[in-house]
Amino acid sequence: MAGALQAFSTYAQGVEAARWVGIASSFVDVASLLNNKRWLGYRQLAALAAFDYKTPGPIFTSEDLLKRVGGSYQFVFVGKRKIGVDQGGSLRLYCIGSERGVLRMFSRSALSVEKSLTVSMGEYVWELLRLYDAREGEHLLAARISSRGKTVVVGYNDAFVAAAVGRASKGIVYRGNDVSLGGVAFRTHVMDFDSSAVDGLVDMRETGVKYLVGPAISGLLGADPRMLGFEVGLPTGFGSVTAGSYGALTGLGPNSKGLQIYVGTGPRPDLLGVLPTGRLLWVEVKNLDRLPKYPLEGDLDYLALKSEFLAIADRAQRLLAFIKDIGPSRASASLASVAAAFAGAGASGGGVSSAFVFSPVFTMPVLSGKDTKVVFVVVLFRGGRAVIYNAEVTLGSLADKSFLGRIFDDAVAAFGSVEKVERAADLQELVEAYVQALPLPK
């Protein structure tokens, strides 16, 4: 015992400045955590144990989910990238996946912070980060909360980033007049917003606005932030895995059997979720600043943007084929899983982590092939004005390029003439309601 205490005393001098980094758990209420003496003692032990950080992945053990996927599985797993803090205190990109049929976390190269934007100050400091992955030559948008100068939690490609972008922006949302797009009556909202601070950070304006509209749409359409994912990879297939040592994050034994949901690469829905009614929520965001002020349908830039929009049909067709191949029950569980995973849901408990995660709360979509009801949302923006069009359509209609083409043409043509009928909400009201639904220090 005396030797252990002496070792701790010596070691602690070297880790004192670093032991705070990433050790706070995003599995619990952080405000309570920082004042919990028992946790402070555990924190010291974690530091002594060479920073045995865990980065939680989307491992789900919901009974309803397991019943729907069938088989004798004990968990469902979605492969997704996360950002956490490594043993040396650096931000690092991790890929949660499997190797030779065993669940594991793949560590990637450390990320460098190119730019940062302070979103809010107080006991907890919120920041948006522009990160660079030298290995892939890729820029990433992330969010971070720190306390007393040390990282508490980091988010990437999830609801936390949307919450931080929302807090860094301001605006007002108005209810607009109904318009006809492609022969379908769409309800509208007009959002006047200022996201200039975020724009200067990311240098990819469409990315910033994409995350900004998340809290707005959540509030306007009643979507649970925990079931609204960002840049969601659609499910494409399955694989059997065993939990291995990584499964301990969610209390699984090493031999526990799981089902991995594979997700597609390439272009994805900008936002995908499930409404409390069981309807799918599919959101696409397009930047009209890429077009002339008065675009003509034959312009090359117009055709390029329209081509991106028409690619929705390819994704809808693949999703319909997936539902047909595996049946609506398993497909429903798969879609709920990917929506939750790309919102930030994951394993809850059993490790020390700096990666944003929350316990999943699932709503299963009601699927009926081509007749599956989808609330389709098209967001067009130019400068500080965004028009949010939404209507209930079917998944089959989203697989029809001619239908999508008419919607795009009509939406662009109507953009400047949609009127503000009445004020609906202050953007910050919607953002704060969104934040309250997430396990984040307020």
DSSP 373-404: EEEEEEEEEETTEEEEEEEEEEHHHHT-HHHH
Mean pLDDT score across all residues of the chain: 85
Domain contains 9: no
Q: What is the mean pLDDT of residues 80-109?
A: 84
Of 270, 263, 265, 264, the residue nearest 309 (C-alpha): 270
Task: Please report which confidence band the pLDDT of residue 442 belongs to, taking 50, 70 and 90 as the band edges.
Answer: low
Whether residue 332 lies inside any domain: the answer is yes
| Highest mean pLDDT pick, 183-187, 242-246, 434-438 | 183-187
Beta-carbon contacts of 9 under 8 Å, excluding residues fewer than 6 positions away, are none
Is 26 a member of any domain? Answer: no
Q: Is the dihedral of CA 25, 223, 409, 321 positive or negative?
A: positive
Identify whether 357 is part of a domain.
yes
pLDDT for the residue 252: 85
Looking at the structure of the chain, the number of domains it has is 1
Q: Which domain holds residue 56?
A: 51-436
**Is residue 97 in a domain?**
yes
* Residue 23 domain flag: no
Its pTM stands at 0.87
Residue 192 has pLDDT above 70, yes or no: yes
Q: Is 122 helix (H, G, I), strand (E, B) or coil?
A: coil
Q: What is the pLDDT of residue 14?
A: 29
pLDDT(97) > 60: yes
* 199, two tokens: 């724009």
- What pLDDT does 301 receive? 93
Instruction: Please tell me the least confidently modeled range out of 169-178, 331-340, 345-354, 404-413.
Output: 345-354
The verdict on residue 326 lying in a domain is yes
Say how far apart CA 62 and CA 362 lie, in whole Å.
8
Q: Considering the domain boundaries, does residue 441 fall inside one?
A: no
Q: Residue 120: which pLDDT band, with cuts at 50, 70 and 90?
A: confident
Q: For 374-393, what is the mean pLDDT?
A: 97
**What pLDDT score was predicted for residue 13?**
30
Task: Report CA 341 to chain centroid distance, whole Å.
Answer: 7
Share of the chain above pLDDT 70, in %: 86
Per-residue pLDDT at 328 exceeds 70? yes
Virtual CA dihedral for 183, 186, 188, 194, nearest 10 degrees?
-80
| pLDDT value at residue 349 | 46
Query: What whole-number percentage of the chain has pLDDT above 90?
Result: 63
Residue 27 has pLDDT above 70, yes or no: no
CA distance 132 to 369: 41
φ/ψ (deg, to 5) at 426: -75, 135
Which is it for strands 80-85 and 91-99: parallel, antiparallel or unpaired?
antiparallel
Q: Residue 258 gets which letter from DSSP?
A: E
